[in-house]
Chains A and B, each alone.
Chain A
């Protein structure tokens, strides 16, 4: 008789443990097993209680960490956006083409050239040549620290494309280091007009300009004198 009672009691307690465990599994961490009697099962009940405590603590901890991580991630994403925006700005800012004189355009290049930048630079210059109708353009690379094969290739392409449009393109400001690299790389820049400084290039461009207009004036003048004769 008493055995049956003990058995019933134990069954009840085990059911209680099951209930608690299932509600913990469902997410309710506030429930605990209430131990009424001290016996063999009490140890198990206490152990489960301790486990639940530990679990609660760990969950809290991991939630906190996740929040921190998310915060950091959003911060990093913001920073990434800023970097991308600044890169775009830099690309836009880094290739200004300005008309400095009748018929003369200048494109000062500052900083390292990569193929993307060189491409944008080339497109800008060609578009500006077409828009303004200037036939002389100066590509000043004083501010470019080093040149590799790709960049030299891009410079060549720019000059050739400008020629195809019907405009002359001079490269100025080739530093000793760049001259050395270009020759060592075996790139032939002899087809391109190069000048030591921007000043030299300007002088050359203006002389050529003058020649063009003077030539015209002279021929006009000639035809007039021929007529009077």
Chain B
């Protein structure tokens, strides 16, 4: 069982300056921690400026995953990459707010398209600086 967990990896796709992570399985704590370090390593390796995390198929997010997501946003920010969480379901949003996890530092977008637009805009601002 343990070996299975370690072998199961969530794919991280690099497109131009962005990393796209689509979470399509139920997250458990181990997988979440693994994903966190995986993404941060990938940011270092590729020098990506933005990370899009698609959670549109996640029906349920617990406090651990919520904290992991907001923690990852601040970690990535230190590494000069913006994290956008994409496609959160209403029930998930309500749960997170009820849990008091309002994720203040995290950017969110309704869908992948809007998320990419958001990051592109940020990147163009970044380039003009």
Contacts and interface: CB of A to CB of B under 8 A. Distances in A.
B114 A219 contact: no
A166 B94 contact: no
Interface stretch (A62-70, A123-131, A171-179, A196-204): A123-131
Contacts of B94: 122-123, 126, 157, 161
B90 A166 contact: no
A128 to B, nearest CB: 9
A160 B88 CA distance: 13
Contacts of B114: 133, 135, 166
Given A215-B121, A219-B124, A163 B89 contact: no
B97 to A, nearest CB: 5
B111 A133 contact: yes
B85 to A, nearest CB: 8
A172 to B, nearest CB: 21
B93 interface: yes
Interface string B80-94: 000001111110111
Nearest to B102: A160
A167 interface: yes
Nearest to B124: A219
B116 interface: no
A164 interface: yes
Interface residues of A, number: 20
A165 interface: yes
B28 to A, nearest CB: 22
Interface string A148-192: 000000000100111111110000000000000000000000000
A164 B110 contact: no
Contacts of A129: 90, 110
B89 A130 contact: yes
A165 B93 contact: yes
Contact of A164 (B102, B111, B121): B102
B74 interface: no
B16 to A, nearest CB: 15
B27 interface: no
A127 B85 CA distance: 17
A130 B86 CA distance: 11
B50 interface: no
Contact of B115 (A166, A215, A216): A166
B90 A161 contact: yes
B51 interface: no
Given A135-B110, A166-B88, 18 more contacts: A122-B94, A123-B90, A126-B90, A127-B90, A130-B89, A130-B90, A135-B114, A160-B97, A161-B97, A162-B93, A164-B85, A164-B96, A165-B110, A166-B111, A167-B110, A215-B121, A216-B121, A219-B124
28 contacts: A123-B90, A126-B90, A126-B94, A127-B90, A129-B110, A130-B89, A130-B90, A157-B97, A160-B97, A161-B90, A161-B97, A163-B102, A163-B108, A164-B85, A164-B92, A164-B102, A164-B103, A165-B88, A165-B90, A165-B110, A166-B85, A166-B86, A166-B87, A166-B88, A166-B114, A216-B117, A219-B121, A219-B124
